[in-house]
Structure 1
Amino acid sequence: MLSDLPFTLSALRDAYAAGTRPEAVIAEVFARLDAANDPGIFLHADREAALAAARALGAPDGRPLWGIPFAVKDNIDVAGMPTTAACPEFAYAPEADAFVVARLRAAGAIVIGKTNLDQFATGLVGTRTPHPVPLNALDPAIVPGGSSGGSGVVVARGIVAFSLGTDTAGSGRVPAALNGIVGLKPTLGALSASGMVPACRTLDTISVFALTVADAWAVHSVAAAPDPEDAYSRAFPAQPLSPVPPRLTIAVPDAASLQTFGDRVQEAAFRATLTELRTRGVEIREIDFTPFYDVAAMLYEGAWVAERTAAVGARLTEAPETLHPVTRSIVEQGLALTAVDAFRGIYRLAELRRHCTAAMAGIDLLCVPTIPCFVTREQDAADPILHNSRLGTYTNFVNLLDMCGLAVPCGTREDGRPASVTLLGRAGQDGLLAGVAGLVEAGPLGATGWHRPAAPVPAPEPVPGEVAVAVCGAHMSGLGLNHQIAERAGRFLRACRTAPEYRFFALPDGVRPGLVRVGPETGAAIAVEVWAMPMEAFGSFVAGIPGPLGIGRVTLEDGSAVPGFLCEEIATRGAEDITALGDWRSHLARKAGAGRKGAA
């Protein structure tokens, strides 16, 4: 029966393959919406338009989102539906879909309607709307989360397979944590903002809510594309899910700087997730998180408050009564700010960014609680500014630092509430976040009671537009030059060995190895890692390789050959032959051990 069908991409695809028609799925969507009996989820839902779109699909045609129902936050344009940003007096009728919506529809997805939000996307609680407040899918006493509250709730209830939110300060992550689902906040510019009502234009992005990481990533893969009409669009095309690199270092707040505002259960849940990461081979490194909190505090100061004021525009002075009281109290602060204040804020952010960059030296990713604590609707009503601010503790700094983020459900806390952590990476590391998320993704699918499906097995091969490269030294995961691959959107494919045709040397500079092909008579198999890199980034990578190293064809143990690091034979004369060790890490470990003995 369709009433029992999980609305995950895999389950819906299986149902369609078995003969289910999209019209039946759309009918089930609205049956579930009626059963939810929550008038706060949608500001506009169009049953007839959705059914018409389903009928128009015809036979299954292989498109990646064929027949998949989704919802859109009501500050993103959908042709034929009003855009209001939860301000009825602001409403307009867009003539075209937002760029991202158009891509999703072209991939076969069906729009159900427009979801409720904190007015003008200002807030993290989900209660700053003139309409009925959507009910948290798991506990109506808890705030639904904002500003993308309706988009989070509609996925957590299993009414649609995915939804679009937006994220400036955490609006694509906080509702995910509060409703037990996945919230994907991409690198800024990866998803076009064309057709989105801005909240803070330089920091805004469309985001994706889904029940699983795999589903969120599949949607992102369709939606991500450069948009020539969006001045802030950037070329960060989505990559396929990748295996997790064998050496990974994740930084977390140390005991002195971890903030949970007295929520010991939340702290325990976070520590449990870190233990799980350690058991999966991840190195956890505790750091002082103060620089990141300092950046977070800037989001509602100076330049970025003024940017929100600019987004609301003349309405703030000409029709202030049309604004939600809390929204108005926030954005009107920008009226007193000057350009001097804005530039001072920009300078201060540059200083703090330096401190954050230093704190992340030698780190692959960050991991934080998505929210520091839960907030009830009663608490929010008593002090809407304080508790909203607390929810942004681990989210407000992310876009200011041009990072990507992925909120991941990781089981259930001791008190039954959902546990959630957010993985954070540098711009372009979205694919790495999605891969690592599979190490901790767990627990119920929102409020549905459906079983979490097994994560798909990543295919360790390059895709069109990528080139594979074999590395055998400091560019391997966890070592000093791996960042040169990461910053070029490189992704790990596999660890393996070369064919038994190579000699391996520690070059005289002490920091690089030399791999030389000598043939099967005197050669051996050497450990390498194979990474994929976008073609357009490969040239700059090769250009930065100093002699006597270069890129040639490296034959792997399975007989295939890929570009990889090779060394001129003349440079190995007088170098230490470490072929017997078989890999660079063993050499480094031996060298470190000798150093400790010498120091003793």
Structure 2
Amino acid sequence: MAHDSHGPSIGPSVAEVLASHAGGTGSPTKTATRVADAIAARGDDGTWLSTVSRNELLAAAAEIENRPGARTLPLYGVPFGVKDSIDVEGFPTTLSCPDFSYVASATAPAVQKLLDAGALYVGKTNLDQFATGLNGTRTPYTVPRSVYGGEMISGGSSSGSALAVALGQVPFAVATDTAGSGRVPAALNGVVGYKPSRGLISTVGLVPACKSLDCISVMAGSIEDVDRVMDVMIGRDDADAWSRDRGPRHEGGVIRVGLPPVDELEFFGDEAMRAAHLGFRDHVTRHATIVEISLAPFLAAGALLYQGPWVAERLVEFGDFLVAQPDSIHPVVRDILRSGEKYTAVDAFAALQRLQELKAEVGRLWADVDVLVVPTIGTTFTVDEVLARPIECNTVLGHYTHFGNLLDLLGVAVPLGTTTDGRPCSAMLLGPALSDDTVLALAAQVLDEPRAEDRGAPEPSRSPTPSKEQI
């Protein structure tokens, strides 16, 4: 189904949905009806792989309304989508591979927290198969397109999660991010993509891509919505070996911004994107404390991800399926998985040692800088361009994102508007692990969003074991 697309059409925010439900102008049932209508009107555009039926969605909304104390719930009746690599009990988890599909017997703790907070589950969103890709084309289902039109890719792997928010169907969606999957599609659809510090959100119930790197992330229309959702989702889970407690809140004051030398930035010949980003940098330079910081160690770490043994980690989860049913796997994904078979234990240890050296080098840089600002993506591609050069284009898309989890950073993709030729421009704000609140504070400043500086850090919570100064 064809649609005119000119950019995101962000719907009601979490706060606006809650206000309408509390004030009586709306209700979870009315919101559910609006969401079902919006999804039906689009048809199969590649955003959703499965949705709760209209009758079941309305029944779920009515159940929320009838809960004792429902109106006090922090996400009372707020609709959301879940990337189809994360389990929701009773619903299929497909990873965009029909032959891999199974019906989940339990809900991922991170999603269960949202449900317990009154959020309304709508369905599962599309992704690059096995969460392997940053472009959104590696799916046997309908290939989604960016809301900016022009046959532009949606980005991946969390393609559907970004689109569900950018189309105004839900105010937030749950995604994942191993190599940029929660930031690249956010950039290509003009929404906020937040990849928290690894371990803040439980990854139990997530089918891993690279278990040592995977993060559950959030797409939203604003930093305020990210804050509201993350306050629900964050919490230690002893069933997750990588779980850890939240870092300190930002207490106000100057945020030192690191900017790479301009000659270290790569836009792959895209002059319009270069001009847009440099214009943003000029603005930042006039309004913030700037420290020049080299990208060299960051990019060196990023090169290890797909040019090193971490690609073999995907075989821990998918190796048996690759052997048993290779023809069920998307050809590009299959080739990537097979490329992991060539690495040895020696390769793995050599890469780990090199990564540790780079971590130490980057770690010293944070003594002088609080947040590093780079482009989220250096250029954009059409679907046909990616299909013609799937590996090369994907590598370009991950230029500024591949190193994030390897170096234990957090990242926020922040929409900045468009280039002179109407394509989306996004900046990525990066910080060291557990500095999430400082990075989000800067993101709010960039977006001119008020954000309370006295947000008190909550007591560490545990998930159950299985069952503004303006820039």
Q: TM-score, normalised by structure 2?
A: 0.91
What is the alpha-carbon distance in structure 1 between the residues aligned to residue 109 and residue 241 of structure 2?
13
Question: What are the Cα deviations for residues 541-598 of structure 1, in whole angstroms up to 9, with x where unaligned?
Answer: xxxxxxxxxxxxxxxxxxxxxxxxxxxxxxxxxxxxxxxxxxxxxxxxxxxxxxxxxx
Task: Give the letter aligned to residue 348 of structure 2.
Answer: A
Question: What are the Cα deviations for residues 104-133 of structure 1, in whole angstroms up to 9, with x where unaligned?
Answer: 000000110001100000000011001111
Which residue, out of 198, 203, 224, partners 1:193?
A: 203
Task: Give the letter aligned to residue 118 of structure 2.
Answer: G
1:298 has 2:308 as partner: no
What is the alpha-carbon distance in structure 2 between the residues aligned to residue 151 and residue 238 of structure 1?
28
Task: Give the letter aligned to residue 201 of structure 1.
Answer: K
User: Structure 1 residues 45 and 244, CA, compared in 2 at 3 Å: closer, same or farther?
Assistant: same
Question: What are the Cα deviations for residues 27-68 of structure 1, in whole angstroms up to 9, with x where unaligned?
Answer: 110111122233411111012332221000126421111100
Q: Which residue of 1 aligns with 2:257?
A: 250
Question: What are the Cα deviations for residues 208-233 of structure 1, in whole angstroms up to 9, with x where unaligned?
Answer: 00011110121111100001111111
117-126 or 216-225, which moves further after superposition? 216-225
What is the alpha-carbon distance in structure 2 between the residues aligned to residue 37 and residue 96 of structure 1?
29
Q: Which residue of 2 aligns with 1:6?
A: 11
Which residue, out of 32, 40, 63, partners 2:38?
A: 32
Task: Give the letter aligned to residue 328 of structure 1.
Answer: R
What is the alpha-carbon distance in structure 1 between the residues aligned to residue 149 and residue 269 of structure 2?
20
What is the alpha-carbon distance in structure 2 between the residues aligned to residue 226 and residue 161 of structure 1?
25
Which residue, out of 169, 187, 190, partners 1:180?
A: 190
Question: What are the Cα deviations for residues 261-284 of structure 1, in whole angstroms up to 9, with x where unaligned?
Answer: 11122122212222232333x122
1:316 has 2:310 as partner: no
1:261 has 2:268 as partner: yes
Which residue, out of 8, 18, 33, partners 2:23?
A: 18
Structure 2 unaligned regions, length at least 5:
1-8, 461-467
What is the alpha-carbon distance in structure 2 between the residues aligned to residue 67 and residue 5 of structure 1?
18
Report SS of the residue matched to 1:296: helix
Q: Which residue of 1 aligns with 2:6?
A: none
What is the alpha-carbon distance in structure 2 between the residues aligned to residue 204 and residue 457 of structure 1?
28
Q: Which residue of 2 aligns with 1:390?
A: 396
Name the one with the larger strand percent.
1
Task: Please give the residue correspondences for 1:11-90 in structure 2 after superposition, counting only pairs within 5 Å.
Answer: 11-19=16-24, 20-47=26-53, 48-58=55-65, 60-90=70-100
Task: Give the letter aligned to residue 13 of structure 1.
Answer: L
180-189 or 44-53, which moves further after superposition? 44-53
Which residue, out of 329, 339, 349, partners 1:333?
A: 339
1:148 has 2:153 as partner: no
Deviation at residue 378 of structure 1 after TM alignment = 1.7
What is the alpha-carbon distance in structure 1 between the residues aligned to residue 456 and residue 312 of structure 2?
44
What is the alpha-carbon distance in structure 1 between the residues aligned to residue 248 and residue 71 of structure 2?
22
Q: Is contact 1:224-1:237 (8 Å) kept?
A: no
User: Structure 1 residues 339 and 213, CA, compared in 2 at 3 Å: closer, same or farther?
Assistant: same
What is the alpha-carbon distance in structure 1 between the residues aligned to residue 456 and residue 183 of structure 2?
30
Task: Give the letter aligned to residue 283 of structure 2.
Answer: E
Greater RCO, CA 8 A, separation 6+: 2
Question: What are the Cα deviations for residues 162-186 of structure 1, in whole angstroms up to 9, with x where unaligned?
Answer: 1011000000000000000000000
Name the one with the larger helix percent.
2
Which residue, out of 452, 464, 468, partners 1:458?
A: 452
RMSD: 2.0
1:271 has 2:275 as partner: no
The count of residues paired between Structure 1 and Structure 2 equals 449
Deviation at residue 237 of structure 1 after TM alignment = 6.5
Deviation at residue 347 of structure 1 after TM alignment = 1.0
Q: Which residue of 2 aligns with 1:165?
A: 175
What is the alpha-carbon distance in structure 2 between the residues aligned to residue 292 and residue 162 of structure 1?
30
Task: Give the letter aligned to residue 427 of structure 1.
Answer: A
Q: Which residue of 2 aligns with 1:586?
A: none
Q: TM-score, normalised by structure 1?
A: 0.72
Report SS of the residue matched to 1:261: coil
Q: Is contact 2:259-2:290 (8 Å) kept?
A: yes
Report SS of the residue matched to 1:431: helix
Q: Which residue of 2 aligns with 1:216?
A: 226
Deviation at residue 339 of structure 1 after TM alignment = 1.3
Report SS of the residue matched to 1:146: coil
Q: Is contact 2:410-2:431 (8 Å) kept?
A: yes
Q: Is contact 1:126-1:133 (8 Å) kept?
A: yes
User: Structure 1 residues 22 and 416, CA, compared in 2 at 3 Å: closer, same or farther?
Assistant: same
Q: Is contact 1:40-1:116 (8 Å) kept?
A: yes
Q: Is contact 1:38-1:135 (8 Å) kept?
A: no
Report SS of the residue matched to 2:103: coil
Structure 1 unaligned regions, length at least 5:
443-454, 467-492, 495-600
Deviation at residue 244 of structure 1 after TM alignment = 4.2
17-26 or 53-62, which moves further after superposition? 53-62
Q: Which residue of 2 aligns with 1:433?
A: 439
What is the alpha-carbon distance in structure 2 between the residues aligned to residue 164 and residue 237 of structure 1?
21
Deviation at residue 313 of structure 1 after TM alignment = 2.3
What is the alpha-carbon distance in structure 1 between the residues aligned to residue 152 and residue 145 of structure 2?
8
Q: Is contact 2:201-2:215 (8 Å) kept?
A: yes
Q: Is contact 2:441-2:451 (8 Å) kept?
A: no
Q: Is contact 2:247-2:436 (8 Å) kept?
A: no
Task: Please give the residue correspondences for 1:559-574 in structure 2 after superposition, counting only pairs within 5 Å.
Answer: none
1:403 has 2:409 as partner: yes
Percent identity, aligned pairs only?
42
User: Structure 1 residues 459 and 342, CA, compared in 2 at 3 Å: closer, same or farther?
Assistant: closer
User: Structure 1 residues 173 and 79, CA, compared in 2 at 3 Å: closer, same or farther?
Assistant: same
